[in-house]
C-alpha cells in the first residue's frame, strides 16, 4: 500500500488487509467547516499506458484480456452527455439501487438527476458504459466529475445492471467493469488528464459491500490519497460514495463561484 501525504511524498506500508493500516490526521486546508478526512485511490496518467496496465493485479489483467478476446465488448464514452443520456443512466441506476438494496447517492434519484444536470451545464460531467453483444441489456456505467483546470478526473459512481441473473452473465459483467475502467483510463490519458481518481474507498471494511468495493478498487490501484470534504455541505453523508459525492458537490460550488 502506498500512502501519499500533503507534500506528495510517498511511503510504503505493509499490511495484510487495508483495515490494518493506521493513518495520522493531516493538516486541514482552510475554508472547510467540520472537515471529515477521506481517502481515495489515484492513478498517475502521466505514466505510459502499458505501465499502468502492468500495475493492475494479475487477476484484473487476465479478466480484461479475457473480456477483450471473448466477451464481444462494446464500450461507449461521452465527454458531453446529453440530458437523454443522463436520464437513461438514471433509469439503470434505479434498477441498481433496487437490486442491491442500496442507498441513493443523494436523497432521491430525482435529486441525483438534478445534480448531474448541474454538472452537465458546467461541462464537467462524463459518462462511460459497456455491454456485451451477447447480453446488450446488461450494462456497466461509470460517471465522472472532471476538473479541467488541474486536469484531474474523479469517479462519482460505478453501477452494474444485472437484468439477467445467470452466473455466467454476472461474470461477463464483472470483466466488462474492469475493461471499462481500463478504457476510461486510456481515454482520459489521451485527452490530457493527469490524475485518475477512483473515488472514496472504505479502508476499514465497515460493511461487506464497501469491503468488496475497496478490494475491487485496490486491484486497480494501491496509491491512497488523503483529502477532506466539508461536512456541512453533505446532503446525506455516508461512507464511501456518499462522502465522495459530498466532495463533488463542494467542487460544483467552487466551479460556480469561479464563474
Q: What is the pLDDT of residue 9?
A: 43
pLDDT higher for 23 or 216? 216
Number of domains in the chain: 1
pLDDT band at 221 (very low <50, low <70, confident <90, very high): confident
In a domain, 66, yes or no: no
In a domain, 146, yes or no: yes
Q: Domain with 255 in it: what CATH number? A: 3.40.630
**Containing domain of residue 101, as a range?**
76-195+242-259
SS3 for the chain, per residue? CEEECCCCCEEECCCCCHHHCCCCCCCCCCCCCCEEEEEEEEEECCCCHHHHHHHCCHHHHHHHHHHHHHCCEEEEEECCCCHHHHHHHHHHHHHHHHHHCCCCCCCCHHHHHHHHHHHHHCCCEEEEEEEECCEEEEEEEEEEEEECCCCEEEEEEEEECCCCCCHHHHHHHHHHHHHHHHHHHHHHHHCCCCEEEEEECCCCCCCHHHHHHHHHHHCCCCEEEEEEEEHHHCCCCCCCHHHHHHHHHHHHHHHHHHC
pLDDT higher for 28 or 170? 170
In a domain, 190, yes or no: yes
Q: What is the pLDDT of residue 38?
A: 66
In a domain, 53, yes or no: no
In a domain, 257, yes or no: yes
At 39-53, the pLDDT tens digits run 777 888 999 999 999
In a domain, 255, yes or no: yes
At 56-115, the pLDDT tens digits run 999 999 999 999 999 999 999 999 999 999 999 998 888 888 776 666 665 678 888 988
In a domain, 214, yes or no: no
pLDDT band at 232 (very low <50, low <70, confident <90, very high): very low
In a domain, 65, yes or no: no
Amino acid at each position: 500500500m502506498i500512502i501519499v501525504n500533503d507534500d506528495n511524498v510517498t511511503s510504503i506500508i505493509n499490511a495484510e488487509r487495508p483495515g490494518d493500516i493506521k493513518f495520522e490526521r493531516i493538516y486541514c486546508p482552510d475554508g472547510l467547516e467540520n472537515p471529515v478526512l477521506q481517502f481515495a485511490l489515484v492513478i498517475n496518467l502521466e505514466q505510459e499506458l502499458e505501465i499502468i496496465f502492468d500495475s493492475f493485479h494479475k487477476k484484473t489483467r487476465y479478466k480484461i484480456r479475457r473480456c477483450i478476446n471473448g466477451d464481444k465488448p462494446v464500450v461507449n464514452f461521452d465527454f458531453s452527455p446529453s440530458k437523454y443520456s443522463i436520464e437513461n443512466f438514471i433509469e439503470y441506476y434505479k434498477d441498481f439501487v433496487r437490486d442491491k438494496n442500496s442507498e441513493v447517492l443523494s436523497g432521491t434519484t430525482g435529486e441525483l438527476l438534478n445534480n448531474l444536470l448541474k454538472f452537465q451545464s458546467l461541462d464537467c460531467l462524463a459518462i462511460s458504459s459497456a455491454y456485451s453483444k451477447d447480453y446488450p441489456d446488461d450494462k456497466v456505467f461509470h460517471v465522472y466529475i472532471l476538473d479541467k483546470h488541474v486536469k484531474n478526473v474523479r469517479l462519482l459512481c460505478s453501477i452494474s445492471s444485472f437484468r439477467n441473473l445467470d452466473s455466467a452473465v454476472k461474470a461477463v459483467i464483472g470483466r466488462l467493469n474492469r475493461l471499462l475502467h481500463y478504457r476510461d483510463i486510456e481515454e482520459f490519458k489521451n485527452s490530457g488528464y493527469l490524475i485518475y481518481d477512483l473515488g472514496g474507498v472504505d479502508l476499514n471494511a465497515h460493511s461487506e459491500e464497501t469491503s468488496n468495493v475497496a478490494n475491487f478498487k485496490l486491484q486497480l490501484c494501491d496509491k491512497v490519497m488523503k483529502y477532506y470534504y466539508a461536512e456541512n455541505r453533505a446532503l446525506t453523508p455516508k461512507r464511501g460514495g456518499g462522502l465522495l459525492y459530498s466532495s463533488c458537490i463542494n467542487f460544483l460550488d467552487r466551479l460556480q463561484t469561479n464563474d
